[in-house]
A and B are shown apart, each in its own frame.
Chain A
Amino acid sequence: ENESMSDSLSDDCVSQEEDVMTPAELISKLEEAWLNEKFSPELLENRSEVVECVMEQLTHMESNLQRVKKGDAKASVHRMEIDRIRFVLSSYLRSRLQKIEKFFPHVLEKEKSRAEGQPSLLSPEEFAFAKEYYANTETYLKAVALKRMPPNLQAVDLLKAVPEPCLDSFVFLQVKERQENIFVEPETDDQREYVVDLEEGSQHLMRYRTIAPLVYSGAVQLI
């Protein structure tokens, strides 16, 4: 009976590029998303599909475990694995919330200017969180200081007041799919621009701006 504890993924949890994703592949997708989110200077696109599938796997496994007798040797191993996956999942979601708190006006602005059909930066829950955070911040600033200012100084443009993510930050990355002719901008006037090839498995230190599209596409992993 225990053997049915982890099934292959349900139909909703089929990745877009491949036909079927195994649970193991799903977990590595979550770990990739976790590290990328931790190390990218900006908020990345939400991976709700991964989060939902992982949640589904965990719920499924937990309900199976409820039927297992106490002291079952396998069950304790399953529980340990569940704890580990849960840790990554919550750390991933937490780092996204931290970034939303840090960049909320810009995150909301980006969401507003998103063209129809373009994937959303935020999950519906995150979007609600960001809007509430914005409103609370404004209310708080008004209550604590702004209402005591002269009328012409009472407005605060949060878009200007809150720093934007610095896309020129350097990041460490590992290449998963070989890339040719990645443009490296010169740092000083007497340097010239040049291109590098990123070999599979190699590791690099360079500006996030240059390789951000490769993070989106999954060709490189931030480390």
Chain B
Amino acid sequence: MTSLSTPRCFWLVRFAARETAMDPSEVEFLAEKQLVKIIPNFSLDKIYLIGGDLGPFNPGLPVEVPVWLALNLKQRQKCRIIPPDWMDVEKLEEMRELERKEDAFTPVPSPHYMELTKLLLNHASDNIPKADEIRTLVKDIWDTRIAKLRLSADSFISQQEAHAQLDNLTLMEINTVREFLLDSLNCMYKLRSNLQPGSRKGQLTDY
């Protein structure tokens, strides 16, 4: 009996070069679509982009633009970036305490909090008060959450669960464990199908 298809296609080795992988820079790319407030120092009419309208831009008047444009304008010294409300030491300290206290994942301030922190702190730290403290706080929150994620991954595997709800996880968090967790679940699936000869899952064939 064998649960495996042809020997040459044996499942042990089917991991490399998967297209289901996403690079962190691609997650960051998605985060760059988030809107952020800037204060421009130039004037420009409305821009009609394919993805929607932006502007008009008037010196000194706050306006919302996607992060990719905000960073570009900032690099060309054409604007000041107003950090999002949550990017604030007091608020983040509260979140960190809550994250450490709760067993479950607490709601995040932004689905891209990690990427936005990195992008804004790296390119506009002069517009963000207490940038270093914010960096540390966000990193603490991240570390706490990743530790929880490992804990829940282990319990998902050991309980052999079929379904988990993960509402507050962000794409970047999922992405760091995706490959490992999905590969492990696939391996476990194959090992478990060994137990069920003749079923749909196990592929026993009598000659």
A and B touch in the complex (CB under 8 A): yes
Binds B, one of A13-21, A78-86, A132-140: A78-86
B192 CB contacts on chain A under 8 angstroms: 187-188
| Distance between B54 CB and nearest chain A CB, rounded to angstroms | 7
Q: How many residues of B contact A (CB 8 A)?
A: 48
Residues of chain A in range 48-101 having any CB-CB distance to chain B below 8 Å: 57-58, 61, 73-74, 77-78, 80-82, 84-85, 87, 91, 95, 98-99
Q: How many residues of A contact B (CB 8 A)?
A: 58
User: B86 contacts the other chain (Cβ, under 8 Å)?
Assistant: no
Given the contacts A2-B48, A161-B8, A203-B167, A172 and B162 also touching, CB distance less than 8 Å: no
Cβ contact of A81, chosen from B50, B166, B186, cutoff 8 A: B50
Q: Are B166 and A3 in contact (CB under 8 A)?
A: no
Binds B, one of A108-116, A117-125, A143-151, A162-170: A162-170
Cβ contact of B9, chosen from A91, A163, A186, A204, cutoff 8 A: A163
| Distance between B24 CB and nearest chain A CB, rounded to angstroms | 14
CA distance A186 to B32 in the complex (A): 40
Considering the complex, give the chain B residue whose CB is closest to the CB of A26: B50
A78 CB contacts on chain B under 8 angstroms: 47, 49
| Distance between B51 CB and nearest chain A CB, rounded to angstroms | 5
A5 CB contacts on chain B under 8 angstroms: 48
Residues of chain A in range 11-39 having any CB-CB distance to chain B below 8 Å: 23-24, 26-27, 31, 38-39
Cβ contact of B6, chosen from A4, A161, A170, cutoff 8 A: A161
A162 CB contacts on chain B under 8 angstroms: 9
With most chain B CB atoms within 10 A of its CB, the pick from A58, A80, A203 is: A203
With most chain B CB atoms within 10 A of its CB, the pick from A5, A58, A73 is: A73
Cβ contact of A27, chosen from B51, B160, B169, cutoff 8 A: B51
Q: Are A204 and B164 in contact (CB under 8 A)?
A: yes
| Distance between A187 CB and nearest chain B CB, rounded to angstroms | 4
| Distance between A59 CB and nearest chain B CB, rounded to angstroms | 12
Considering the complex, give the chain A residue whose CB is closest to the CB of B49: A81
Q: Are B5 and A23 in contact (CB under 8 A)?
A: no
| Distance between A171 CB and nearest chain B CB, rounded to angstroms | 8
User: B46 contacts the other chain (Cβ, under 8 Å)?
Assistant: yes
CA distance A184 to B181 in the complex (A): 19
User: B121 contacts the other chain (Cβ, under 8 Å)?
Assistant: no
Q: Are B189 and A168 in contact (CB under 8 A)?
A: yes
| Distance between B172 CB and nearest chain A CB, rounded to angstroms | 11
CA distance A160 to B6 in the complex (A): 7
Question: Which chain A residues have a beta carbon within 8 Å of chain B's beta carbons?
Answer: 2-6, 23-24, 26-27, 31, 38-41, 57-58, 61, 73-74, 77-78, 80-82, 84-85, 87, 91, 95, 98-99, 102, 160-163, 166, 168-172, 184-189, 191, 196, 201-207, 223
Give 16 new A-B contacts, CB below 8 A, not counting A39-B22, A91-B26, A171-B182. Answer: A6-B50, A23-B51, A26-B50, A31-B30, A39-B20, A61-B50, A98-B19, A160-B6, A163-B14, A170-B181, A170-B182, A196-B163, A202-B167, A203-B165, A204-B166, A205-B156
A-B contact pairs, 28 of them (CB 8 A): A2-B47, A3-B46, A4-B48, A6-B48, A23-B51, A39-B20, A41-B20, A57-B50, A61-B50, A74-B47, A77-B49, A77-B69, A80-B68, A80-B69, A85-B50, A98-B19, A99-B19, A163-B5, A168-B186, A170-B186, A184-B162, A185-B162, A188-B192, A201-B167, A202-B167, A203-B165, A203-B169, A223-B174
